[in-house]
């Protein structure tokens, strides 16, 4: 990967087997990336980037000013999210196995007395992970029929730079654990996005055409997802 320096602006440049140049500005800090055709020299990419400087700066400013989630302390009545809805955390002591229950407007977390915040976080994340796996499995089953593709394997994990990934050769997708907290339509958008990579590896015109065909409102879902508050450590990514 090469880089362009335009004043204070650093732009990552990646040459790919694509027909058209693609410019992306990524949340949360406005990282700029250009994917250029293999035949395009760096000077031509520079001229293109200069022509887009105003747009790039506006996008960077928008992401830098994006709301951030407050760090969680895992205390009673603290706000936590599940499928886009806000719940109040209720911590209950138990002498049996730790668990989590969802009840009306509360997430009830059962744990041993005086459990450390890190322990409470682990219990809640284990529950989140199990719930998200069920949701993703249902979406994959739905969209395999629509897209006429098959996913051999999927998983859930924490990711600092992406909402999801796809390995077309292994037919395997990974989904970011944070998506369990976002609205269901945002999760579905990411699952579809990754599954479309089984039809087209690159984010090129063919990929966009597939997204337009199968999920016509994907742009509005992308915008919604990018407007939602992000974690303090900042990891969000979308193409």
The Cα–Cα gap between 51 and 156 comes to: 39
Shared domain check, 83 and 59: no
Q: Does 98 share its domain with 216?
A: yes
Q: State whether 93 and 25 are in the same domain.
A: no
Give the burial string for 179-197 (b: 16+ CB within 10 Å, else e): bbbbbeebbbbbbbbbbbb
Please give the Cα distance from 40 to 15 (Å, whole number): 8
What is the CB neighbour count within 10 angstroms for residue 166?
19
Looking at the structure, tell me whether residues 57 and 84 fall in a common domain.
no
Q: Are residues 142 and 88 in the same domain?
A: yes
Q: Is residue 73 part of a domain?
A: no
Q: Is residue 232 part of a domain?
A: no
Domain check: are 55 and 88 in the same one? no
**Residues 58 and 117 both lie in one domain:** no
Specify whether 48 is located in the same domain as 83.
no
Residue 94 and residue 42 share a domain: no
Q: What is the pLDDT along the chain (239 residues), one digit of tens a residue?
A: 899 999 889 999 999 988 889 998 876 678 899 999 999 999 999 999 999 999 999 888 877 766 667 788 999 999 999 999 999 999 999 999 999 999 999 999 999 998 999 999 999 999 999 999 999 999 999 999 999 999 999 999 998 778 999 999 999 999 999 999 999 999 999 999 999 999 999 888 999 999 999 999 999 999 899 888 766 443 333 33
Whether the Cβ atoms of residue 32 and residue 9 lie closer than 8 Å to each other = yes
Q: Which two tokens stand for residue 49?
A: 């980037």
Report pTM: 0.76
Alpha-helical segments (H) within 65-217: 117-147, 184-196, 205-214
CA 43 to chain centre: 32
Structural domain contains residue 199: yes
Structure tokens at 216: 């016509």
Report which of 60, 6, 68, 7 is spatially closest to residue 32, judged by C-alpha positions: 60
User: Is the domain of 161 the same as that of 212?
Assistant: yes
Domain that holds residue 58: 2-64
Q: Is 50 within a domain?
A: yes
CA contacts within 13 A on the Cβ side of 43: 0
């Amino acid at each position: 990967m090469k880089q362009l320096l335009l004043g204070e602006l650093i732009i990552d440049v990646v040459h790919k087997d694509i027909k058209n140049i693609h410019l992306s500005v990524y949340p949360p800090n406005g990282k700029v990336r250009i994917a250029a055709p293999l035949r395009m020299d760096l000077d031509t990419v520079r001229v293109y980037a200069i022509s887009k400087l105003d747009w790039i700066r506006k996008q960077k400013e928008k992401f830098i000013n994006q709301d951030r989630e407050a760090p969680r302390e895992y205390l009673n009545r603290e706000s936590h999210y599940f499928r886009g809805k806000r719940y109040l955390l209720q911590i209950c002591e138990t002498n049996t196995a730790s668990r989590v229950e969802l009840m009306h407007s509360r997430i009830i977390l059962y744990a041993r007395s005086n459990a450390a915040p890190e322990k409470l976080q682990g219990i809640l994340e284990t529950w989140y992970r199990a719930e998200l796996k069920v949701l993703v499995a249902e979406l994959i089953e739905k969209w395999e029929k629509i897209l006429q593709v098959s996913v051999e394997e999927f998983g859930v994990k924490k990711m600092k730079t992406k909402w999801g990934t796809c390995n077309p050769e292994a037919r395997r997708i990974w989904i970011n654990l944070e998506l369990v907290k976002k609205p269901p339509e945002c999760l579905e958008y990411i699952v579809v996005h990754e599954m479309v990579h089984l039809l087209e590896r690159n984010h090129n015109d063919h990929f966009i055409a597939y997204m337009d065909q199968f999920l016509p409102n994907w742009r509005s879902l992308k915008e919604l997802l990018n407007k939602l508050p992000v974690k303090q450590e900042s990891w969000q990514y979308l193409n």
